[in-house]
Structure 1
């Protein structure tokens, strides 16, 4: 199932493929007309995203987080810089298999992620229209990987289902692994190095107008980023200690249907 390649990124050359990706800038979540809504991308994140924290070389993408004063944005200056890219408006899909190979530096406060958001949010603002987290990690937990879905209703009436996997002894997130998501009409599954570790086939929204299998029955697009601090790991948010620069390196991303 899902063996036909419909999209891939192998990061050739020495620059990001602008036909595939958007680069995001700043620390603020903005409205559709560019007005500030909430800092920290809604997650108390402490990094400012810039295009200069991306590097494409030797066939991989490197998202580089640095400890440095960022440009001021809406009266706030972040102590870290990093990068975030996405395919919104350029590539989205409904159902299929996502496979990518990646590794990331370790250390308190690092939050690498490969995830998906709805292209058109047909059921309303986050998280009524859903979010699929293919891969997240907490830099202080070097052998743990997380896969999550968010749903339920518009925040704060949202909920989530989180799944955690443990990498084998001696194999941390700082080594290359193959991460995989299989998204079917009635289920979502996560794998590492070809081994399944979680599957969900039930999600119920608080909003009665959103009936299962909604909201995961619409096209989603891809996002890749490396955050610093934030609400995903509050135990590290006030104790950020990785050795900078920290790097989230992606070898390839492929989508099959």
Structure 2
């Protein structure tokens, strides 16, 4: 029997408010452990934004989601403030899946230091802490590079031993990340593929453990577990090495807009 892809979950961002039955809103600038212990500021990436649950940074209208980064001093967290605010939402505990298609239509902001992303993390860290249980980045963009998008997987071991596979795609001449594009990930048991406007620009079919990390994982581990969705707009950080932490303060307010996001899974006809 043929296996057909059917809609499993979606948000088209209708109405005037975020659907809290589908999304969690995260707060702060610190990476925090499962037991609430603060681990590192800047979400471990030298990020300079504080995520807020505030209508200034996160709102729904005109059938789209907007995450807005502002040049605005943050509240105090663990004795520190940062110079920007933004928003981050995810579906952990509300929706997760293993294998399928993710598709969304999005417009990214321009400006050095802006880092919009749609990505996935494991619902349960079955194989151990990051990045041993994996991370799938469906879309990452650098506001400094208006024609470039990236897709990545992280895996293999703890941060000092982890590895990644990443591919980038340059948009056609005459268009930029600040235009709406349709992004997609096809996640199969033995392969992951990344798409922009129907064009496949990356296909990864090998991954595994890192040397010296025990116990070894067997392919297709760790990407054989349920993952949840994340949408955020970061400021600063290490993703753009040439920016070196510099942020263009003339870029604010900066909007990351999502028209819709859908997940499809296979069902036998």
Using the size of structure 1 for normalisation, the TM-score is: 0.98
Match of 1:235 in 2: 242
2:252 paired with 1:248: no
Matched, 1:62 2:66: yes
Tell whether the 8 Å contact from 1:2 to 1:97 is kept in structure 2 after alignment.
Answer: no
Per the alignment, residue 99 of structure 1 pairs with: 103
Q: What's the CA shift for 1:34? A: 1.8
1:28-71 CA-partner distances (Å, limit 9, x unpaired) = 01122222111111111000000111010010000000001000
What residue in structure 1 maps to residue 125 of structure 2? 121
Q: 2:208 aligns with which of 204, 208, 213?
A: 204
Q: State the shift of 1:243 in Å.
A: 1.7
What is the DSSP-based 3-state SS (H/G/I as helix, E as strand, rest coil) of the residue aligned with 2:241?
Answer: helix
Say which SS state the counterpart of residue 41 (structure 1) adopts: helix
Q: CA deviation at 1:183?
A: 0.2
Unpaired runs of 5+ in structure 2? none
Q: 1:2 Cα shift?
A: 5.4
Report if the CA contact (8 A) 2:237-2:245 is conserved. no
2:93 to 80, 89, 92: 89
- Superposition RMSD in Å: 1.0
Q: Is the 8 A contact 1:85 1:224 kept in 2?
A: yes
CA contact (8 A) 2:11 2:262 kept: yes
**Mapped pair 1:162 → 2:166:** yes
Quickly say closer, same or farther: Cα 1:58–1:80, change in 2 above 3 A: same
After TM superposition, the score normalised by the length of structure 2 is: 0.93
Unaligned runs of 5+ in 1: none
- The answer to whether the 8 A contact 1:100-1:178 is kept is yes
The equivalent of 2:30 in structure 1 is 28
2: CA distance, partners of 1:238 / 1:122: 33
Alignment match, 1:190: 194
| Cα pair 1:96 1:256 within 8 Å, conserved | yes
Q: Is contact 1:20-1:90 (8 Å) kept?
A: yes
* TM superposition shift of 1:204: 2.1
The answer as to 2:225 corresponding to 1:218 is: yes
Assess if the C-alpha contact under 8 Å between 2:208 and 2:222 holds in 1: no
Whether the 8 Å contact between 2:63 and 2:259 is mirrored in structure 1 is yes
Query: Which residue of the other structure, out of 122, 136, 145, is the alignment partner of 2:140?
Result: 136
For residues 2 and 124 of structure 1, do their structure 2 counterparts lie closer, same or farther at Cα, with a shift above 3 Å needed? farther
The offset of 1:3, in angstroms, is 2.0
State the SS of the aligned residue for 1:136. strand
